[in-house]
Amino acid sequence: MGRAYQNRKESMAKTAAAKTKVYSKYGREIYMCAKQGGIDPDANLSLRGLIDRAKKDQVPTHVIDKAIEKAKGGAGEDFNPARYEGFGPGNCMVIVDCLTDNPNRTFGDVRFCFTKTKCKIGTQGSVSHMFDHCAILAFKGDDEEAALEALMAADVDVTDIENENGLITVFAPNTEYAKAKQALTDAFEGIEFEVDDIQFLPQTTTQVEGEDVEMFEKFLDMLNDLDDVQNVYHNAEL
């Protein structure tokens, strides 16, 4: 699982530069998270994690505060999650997660990205069964046994735990995110998470080569330029 996460992590770092609207995407996600689960980060662990990730991605505080204030007011846009799946260049598998206030528009925009790059958008479930929906928490340390004991004591369903180069990485089902993070926070005073995320990790990878590499990069750039697209997951290995 570690290698799959590493591939995903490198891909994210590569495509992050293409996200010219990263502030608005975080703002939209924070707004929805606060609106659904409450505006207090101490009571809404999903919101707290999202704010932490936004800060690590250098999203200004005023952007975060504005999104929370908007949720506090109760009015505003009503975004809904939408997920699209299909096959990208080189027949790699792709999952596109969106937040949209107009599903018809968003589907048309995402489908255009697929067709413009000679890819095929599929039906719901066509590729997601080949991914694990995981919570990933990584922090500096060398005692994975202590981390595992803390997680077990909190009855967290741990999928995997790794200790490499002084970094402990915990993988758990996405539904265990809040419980896993709270257990580690309680067990290790002053813990700072290097990785605090929920992702789709591929069970297998697909090698993308030759002309497909350039088409794959174009495909990702087109998707990431869409306002409604929040995350793109894939199993491509370049």
Confidence band, pLDDT 50/70/90 cuts, at residue 5:
low
CA–CA distances in Å: residue 223 to residues 16, 82, 228: 12, 14, 9
pLDDT of amino acid 79: 85
With a CB cutoff of 8 Å and minimum separation 6, the contacts of 225 are 18, 20, 21
pLDDT of amino acid 202: 92
pLDDT of amino acid 238: 86
Q: What is the signed CA dihedral for 174, 176, 181, 182, rounded to 10 degrees?
A: 150
Of the ranges 1-15, 22-36, 106-120, the best mean pLDDT one: 106-120
Average the pLDDT over 176-192 and give the result: 91
Asked if pLDDT for residue 11 goes beyond 90, the answer is no
CA–CA distances in Å: residue 229 to residues 81, 96, 107, 116: 10, 7, 11, 17
Distance CA 167, CA 29 (A): 28
Confidence band, pLDDT 50/70/90 cuts, at residue 195:
confident
Asked if pLDDT for residue 203 goes beyond 70, the answer is yes
Least confident segment among 18-22, 36-40, 78-82, 94-98 = 18-22
Distance CA 110, CA 103 (A): 10
Confidence band, pLDDT 50/70/90 cuts, at residue 14:
very low
What percentage of the chain has pLDDT greater than the value 70?
A: 90
Average the pLDDT over 111-138 and give the result: 94
Average the pLDDT over 25-31 and give the result: 89
- What's the whole-number average pLDDT of the chain? 87
Q: Model pTM? A: 0.82
pLDDT of amino acid 24: 84
Average the pLDDT over 14-28 and give the result: 66
Residue burial 170-207, b: 16+ Cβ < 10 Å; e: rest: bbbbeebbbbbbebbbeebeeeebebbbbbbbbeebbe
